[in-house]
Structure 1
Amino acid sequence: MDPFFLVGAVLCALSLILCVAAVVTKTYPGDAAIVSVAVVELFLVVFGIGAGIRQAGGEAVRGEPWEFWGYLVTALIVPVAAFWWAIADRTRWSNAVLAAVPVTIFVMLFRMEQIWNGAPFS
């Protein structure tokens, strides 16, 4: 397992916990939920830079590189869209949208891990 994947999984889990707590306790998006999604976005930026460095250094992607980078670009868009939703819609449901981000990103990270290192679970 790639250390980037493990760090991403932990960050997604923590973000999910904070966002679900915000759904249960708040009627509007709280700072903790928004910041946790921002941390996931920051992780994705670092992940992308690290993947670019690894690929430029000669580490081969076992799957299709365009598919890996497509997942990464899409994953970078998801937290930003949820953030703008949370800012525009100041209700409890925007917390639910924020809570969907770490779950979605975890699934995308899992798929990117399969593409990069081969797909042992497919």
Structure 2
Amino acid sequence: MDPTVMFVIGTAICALSTLICWVMTALSPGPADSSIVSVATIELFLIVYGIYAGIRQAFGGVGIVGEAWEFWGYVLTAVLLPVGVLIWAVLDRTRWSNLVMSFVGLVVFVMIYRLEEIWFGSAL
């Protein structure tokens, strides 16, 4: 699979999650199930991305142009971000937890863009 496809899929998931969370900020008095599911979808994508990156590097012969520690640091941070925000959203049962969850999509988009830069040495 072309890494550009993974980037496009990740971008679409992040954008949709952000939009869902913004709408739920306006409509829901507490953390909406749809917001939680959308952030969980980002987490699932990141797990798949990490597995894909590991397999591609181990067996695909495609090395990282940038620093490997930086790449995997970004992957680990990106994977932990939705988990932390979901825990926070469950503890903070206000409308604003939806807004905070919306930032996961924005931040993860920037992180996967940066991952592509580290992997290939330039932006897509």
What TM-score, normalized to structure 1? 0.95
Alignment of 1:98-117 (within 5 A): 98-117=101-120
**Corresponding residue for 2:75?**
72
Percent identity of equivalent pairs: 49
1:117: how far off?
A: 1.1
For 2:100 and 2:34, the matched residues in 1 are separated by 14
Unaligned runs of at least 5 residues, structure 1: none
**Corresponding residue for 1:45?**
47
Secondary structure of 1:2's aligned partner: helix
Does 2:17 align with 1:15?
A: yes
**Corresponding residue for 2:35?**
33
Does 2:98 align with 1:90?
A: no
CA deviations on 1:18-68 (whole Å, 9 max, x unpaired) are 000011111101110000000000000000000000000121111111101
For 1:11 and 1:118, the matched residues in 2 are separated by 24
Unaligned runs of at least 5 residues, structure 2: none
1:88: how far off?
A: 0.2
User: Does structure 1 conserve the Cα–Cα contact (< 8 Å) formed by 2:14 and 2:105?
Assistant: yes
Structure 1 residues 32 and 120: CA distance shift in structure 2, 3 A: closer
Q: Tell me the matched-pair count.
A: 121
1:91: how far off?
A: 0.1
What TM-score, normalized to structure 2? 0.94
Q: Write the letter of the residue equivalent to 1:56.
A: A
Structure 1 residues 36 and 120: CA distance shift in structure 2, 3 A: closer
